[in-house]
């Protein structure tokens, strides 16, 4: 099926807007891995847990917590986690928040899959219509838009990460459902430094992916 140039160009602008979100979601998904936690806990200056978790404790309990976000298990998966004395590692409020986080992550994964299909479909339509130039223009615009978005986010991380973190949670979660005591397991496993570095890693990875799109688009245009 061939579409008119006018239609392709309109779809191209939609892809330009969609691409930054797609790449950002890919970067976030790659970060949701026990491997990131393994590296992060060993970063210089990473805060120790003043309530007693050792490095091995954090590695032990963070792995299933992160895996839960991307597996098909119910909250029972986390409820079953207990300390040696039989005490659950997460209280009811923490479990409720983890369910909310999983819902957001699941929605993101669905959005990522749909976005990937839409971008691929647009590419096929452009190729069949012999208008690779429209495809490359849309992708390169998206690459530049992504870089602008990530630079803005990283500036907020550098200037006031606490406010950015608060805005992020207010956007995705109900008030009062995401704040915990410093003695709660979620904070002990994932302190603010963890999330600050996660934002930076996602931003840097997104810049690499966006830069790759620009480089590839430029080479294909030559």
**pTM, rounded to two decimals:** 0.93
Task: Give the domain extent around 74.
Answer: 5-221
Q: How many CA atoms lie within 13 A of 124 on its CB side?
A: 7
Tokens at residue 17, please?
Answer: 């807007």
Token duo for residue 58: 């954090």
Report pLDDT for 5: 84
What residues does 88 pair with on adjacent strands? 82
Q: Which pLDDT score, from 0 to 100, does residue 221 have? A: 82
Positive or negative torsion for Cα 28, 29, 30, 33: positive
- Structural tokens at position 103: 């819902």
How high is the pLDDT of residue 220? 85
How many structural domains comprise the chain? 1
Would you write out the chain's pLDDT as a tens digit for each of its 222 residues?
678 889 999 999 999 999 999 999 999 999 999 999 999 999 999 999 999 999 999 999 999 999 999 999 999 999 999 999 999 999 999 999 999 999 999 999 999 999 999 999 999 999 999 999 999 999 999 999 999 999 999 999 999 999 999 999 999 999 889 999 999 999 999 999 999 999 999 999 999 999 999 999 988 887
Report yes or no: 25 and 108 within 8 Å, Cβ to Cβ: yes
Q: Tell me which residue of 20, 15, 10 sits closest to 145, measured CA to CA.
A: 20
Which SS3 state, helix, strand or coil, does residue 88 take?
A: strand
Q: Which residue has the tokens 């061939």?
A: 2
pLDDT recorded at residue 87: 96
Q: What is the pLDDT of residue 1?
A: 62
pLDDT, residue 26, reads: 97
Cα gap 101→114, rounded to integer Å: 20
Sign of torsion over alpha carbons 24, 29, 32, 33: negative
pLDDT at position 181: 96
In angstroms, the CA 124 to CA 87 distance is 55
Provide the token pair at 101: 């986080």
């Amino acid at each position: 099926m061939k579409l008119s140039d006018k239609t392709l160009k309109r779809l191209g602008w939609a892809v330009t807007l969609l691409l930054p979100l797609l790449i950002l979601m890919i970067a976030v998904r790659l970060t949701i891995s026990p491997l990131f936690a393994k590296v992060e806990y060993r970063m210089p200056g990473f805060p120790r847990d003043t309530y007693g978790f050792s490095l091995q404790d954090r590695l032990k309990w963070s792995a299933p917590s992160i895996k839960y976000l991307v597996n098909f298990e119910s909250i029972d998966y986390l409820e079953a986690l207990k300390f040696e004395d039989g005490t659950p590692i997460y209280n009811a409020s923490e479990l409720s928040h983890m369910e909310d986080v999983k819902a957001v992550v699941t929605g993101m994964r669905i959005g990522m899959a749909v976005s990937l299909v839409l971008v691929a479909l647009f590419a096929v339509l452009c190729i069949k219509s012999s208008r690779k130039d429209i495809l490359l223009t849309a992708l390169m615009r998206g690459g530049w838009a992504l870089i602008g978005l990530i630079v803005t986010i990283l500036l907020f991380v550098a200037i006031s990460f606490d406010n950015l973190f608060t805005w992020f949670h207010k956007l995705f979660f109900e008030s009062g459902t995401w704040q915990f005591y410093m003695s709660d397991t979620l904070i002990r496993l994932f302190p603010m430094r963890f999330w600050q570095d996660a934002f930076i890693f996602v931003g840097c990875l997104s810049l690499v992916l966006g830069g790759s799109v620009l480089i590839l688009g430029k080479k294909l245009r030559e």
